[in-house]
Structure 1
């Protein structure tokens, strides 16, 4: 039974690290497919992926978080998410190494981001949950794409492909 403030999340892996995003922003999970590369885009922007006749800007989440790139595997997935960035609602694809679970985390179990010992920018993180297997880092998409330039690049991606 879920309590008030509990977070249901899609849990996924990037290398040995485990992350999660709220279920409410994840529209669907698809198998990896090649993206149409956008010239002069940042290295973390893979390009556009067609999803149900929609051009979706797709991000290599590993690169965006500053992790080393990894080879594609049969477990590589793309999370299609609805994100609010710079006062705009955008549909994004986030390439992840593997999807692990859908889990519910008690609000009381979500710890604030530690001041030290975290290798990611604190703006990227909503909180951390301890599990029997280690930590799950709850990501904040608005924090990850915090700069106006990031949101502008993603919002302009479909326009760039059509030009």
Structure 2
């Protein structure tokens, strides 16, 4: 009879351990699955607000290396500096860190008619360069009847200007 009681104790302990393990595993999966269900719209809304707060600042104290709007005025030199680096993967990573975002981004300008405006600067050999946005290379629209991409440096010949 004694051996029957030992077997019952061992099987009861094993059953309790399995139940505790299953409860912990269930809680773990519930916690992480709820965090993974964050909708893309919510995430984009959050990151766009975060981006706005870092790009446009109200005082020089809150500027980051990637801020280029101070008191509602674009610092064109700072904008050109970022545009020159937009095709470098390390610079884009640094900008993402400054902006506090995880996803790809593209910041570009349009006029009152919805036309995309280039960021224009002179390259080292005094060649005018046109960049239509700061960020990941992706199609953003047309300029002079040509498709343009964010983060790509164009010459006037390529744009037909």
- Higher helix proportion (structure 1 or 2): 2
- Higher strand proportion (structure 1 or 2): 1
Normalised TM-score (structure 1)? 0.23
Question: Which protein, 1 or 2, shows the higher relative CO under an 8 Å CA cutoff with sep ≥ 6?
Answer: 1
Larger radius of gyration: 2
